[in-house]
Amino acid sequence: MFGTAFTWWGSAVTWLEVIAFVLAFACVVCNILENPWGWPLAIVSSALYAWLFARNRIYGDAGLQVFFALTSLWGWWQWLFGRRAGADPGEPLRVVRLAPRQMLSLALAWMALWMGLGLGLARFTDSDVPWLDAFPTAGSLLGQVLLGRKVLENWPVWMLVNVSSIALFTYKQLWLTALLYALFIGTALAGWLRWRAVWRAGRGPA
């Protein structure tokens, strides 16, 4: 899996990174379309990326991928069988929005997680990018939970995660993964626009 598929900007791109790239992109497309098959794709791509990141000493993101794989099982169940409190029996999980106070709590939670993860990575690992690794890791933890519950604001969270991840993967010369996260900025915007239209159309409660 770590054989060279091709060389890009002087760095070898492995077959592992290529396969993980394809599966991760397909996963996000399914998420935008509210297709539950995105979740099993997330499980496989996350496992592959955990392997890739651990090999490159990006431990926060490696651990995050394990978290993604586990929570993808939960997200898959939520999209198939999850219900809102007070919803009619049999009513599928629908897109909702956060209240302003909830968005403030989300921002504060992100900052707290960033500080905690950054300190942990700096103290207990040999990571050379503890703070740059910790910021998107913290945001991704929150974004995954929001996505699993079909909360519209998961998409702007992913936009911020993707921008910071590009800096991280560029520094680590994981060029194909950096490209993937650049593409993810566009898919997150597409997801925001589509889910917002769904919410405005009245498919979910205001």
- Rounded to an integer, the average pLDDT of 119-140 is 93
What pLDDT is attached to residue 88? 67
Query: Comparing C-alpha atoms, which of 55, 2, 47 is closest to residue 27?
Result: 47
C-alpha to C-alpha distance for 146 and 164, rounded to whole angstroms: 19
pLDDT tens digits for 42-67?
Answer: 999 999 999 988 988 888 888 889 98
What pLDDT is attached to residue 204? 43
- Rounded to an integer, the average pLDDT of 91-100 is 89
C-alpha to C-alpha distance for 64 and 137, rounded to whole angstroms: 6
Q: What pLDDT band is residue 2 in, cutting at 50, 70 and 90?
A: low
pLDDT over threshold 80, residue 7? no
The residue ranking higher by pLDDT, 91 or 108, is 108
C-alpha to C-alpha distance for 51 and 78, rounded to whole angstroms: 27
Residues in the chain: 206
Q: What pLDDT band is residue 205 in, cutting at 50, 70 and 90?
A: very low
